[in-house]
Amino acid sequence: MEECGYPLPPFDFRLPGVTSISCDTHKYGYTPKGSSVILYRESKYLHHQYMCFPEWTGGIYATPTFAGSRSGLTISLAWATLLCFGRSGYVQRTKEIIQCSRRISSAIMDIGGLRLLGSPDVSIVAFTSDVFNIYALVDDMSALGWNLNSIQNPAG
């Protein structure tokens, strides 16, 4: 985000207490569903991730992931996608997402009866209403082709 001109307080390895960072690359990384990444500050933390099943009938079974064996296809497609977009591609998309989020937030503040919940820094814009049934609005927006996720508490 800093490269897009939208600085945030650090939330990565620049903070002394951060030991790992996880990233679902299948979300804003545009990679296939099921691809995720976990980074460790130091390799010693990786050893806490292993799953070991010594009672398996085939002998001791140990794997670095809970899922065990996985197809290499998802990994190779994720890698190819990351290379295809490149750093500049992801920076550009991040900038576009932030700008879109800010436009939506601004428009919501201009609509009578709607109220923003929080102040979105990136992509999640939450809003509600104290004037009308917010769930009816979600249904109406859905009929117009919008895909809004609503939650129960707080209503919105």
Of 131, 127, 120, nearest to 154 by C-alpha is 127
Q: Is the pLDDT of residue 134 over 70?
A: yes
The class (CATH top level) of 2-109 is: alpha beta
Q: How confident is the model at residue 48 (pLDDT cuts 50, 70, 90)?
A: confident
Q: How many Cβ atoms sit within 10 Å of the Cβ of residue 59?
A: 8
How big is the CA angle at 107 (ends 105 and 112), to the nearest 5 degrees?
110
Q: Which amino acid is at 22?
A: S
Output the pTM of the full model: 0.78
- Residue 132's nearest CA partner among 155, 106, 107 is 155
pLDDT of residue 68: 67
Reported as a pLDDT band with limits 50, 70 and 90, residue 101 is very high
Measured CA distances, 39 to 18, 19, 43 (Å): 11, 8, 9
In this predicted model, which residue has the larger pLDDT, 145 or 52? 145
| Average pLDDT of the chain to the nearest whole number | 90
Please report, for the chain, the start and end positions of each structural domain, with discontinuous segments joined by +: 2-109
Alpha-carbon torsion (132, 130, 124, 74), positive or negative: negative
The string of pLDDT tens digits covering residues 54-86 is: 998 988 888 877 666 677 898 899 999 999 999
